[in-house]
Amino acid sequence: MSIAMPPVDPQTFVARRFSGQVMLVTGGASGMGLACATRAAREDASVVICDVDAAAAAEAAAELAAVGGRAVGIAADITRRDDCARMVAAAVEAFGGLDVAINAAGVMDGGDDARPAPLHLASDRYLERTIGINVMGTMFACAAELRQMVDQRRGGAIVNVGSTTGLTGSAGTPAYVASKHAVNGLTRSIAIDYAPHGIRCNSANMGATETPMLARAMDMLSERGDRPKPAAGPMVKPGPLIARPSTIWEQAAVILFLASREASDMTGALVASDGGWTAY
């Protein structure tokens, strides 16, 4: 008989942990990004919610403001350098600077006409869209965030949202796997280049987490049920050691720890928050 490992309570927070700090969250209108923004607001951060969905970003910010948080919503497509510069400028205009950035925007698929597939079957749209958002978009976001942090001369922290597929591999999603390895390489490169500026950069690498993206992935796997499957054996794992999907609040707890000054001695770390998936 195994003992259950219950997830963190969604209402958990550390009082005033981000007091006096401005936090920008890309992909902040849903999933892990929204969980990070919500908890950070409870922890006294001034939050800039950035999302390609303008209405969702505005709604999320309004909901946080309605319960006493300090938040603004900004429409931003991270694949556009100008949008990334504009979202950082919005943080400066609204709250006077930028101290923390959480880059949670990303995709596993490119939409109905650009679904993941083994490489010889993958469409150009799937490859280009996934790499464009996850790699180039994360680079453009980081570049804009770093420029502001360097100019401020007061340090800062960046957390890039990776994946277990950036630490190992995964069948049938070649562009996603490649993109998350790139995000982790970028994270380490930033850590090296910007340590002299007092800027830390880490990545949080999660396994299956209860998000809309996971739901879409499960739907796609069901639809692909008649496709040839990999042979059974060493390449197939039964599941994570904690035998359930992670929650967005568990991931937010890890991400915000890395973003906080409690993680002052951590930079260039690729942290697995995956229920033990990469432990074996």
Biggest distance spanned by C-alpha atoms of the chain: 56
C-alpha radius of gyration, the chain, whole number: 18
Mind telling me the catalytic residues?
Answer: 176
Cα–Cα distance for residue pair 26/141, rounded to 1 Å = 8
Please provide residue 129's backbone torsions phi and psi, each rounded to the nearest 5 degrees. Answer: -70, -45
Cα–Cα distance for residue pair 194/196, rounded to 1 Å = 5
Q: How many C-beta neighbours within 10 Å does residue 76 have?
A: 30
Strand 70-75 relative to strand 46-51: parallel, antiparallel, unpaired?
parallel
For residue 177, give the 3-state DSSP assignment: helix
Q: How many C-beta neighbours within 10 Å does residue 15 have?
A: 8
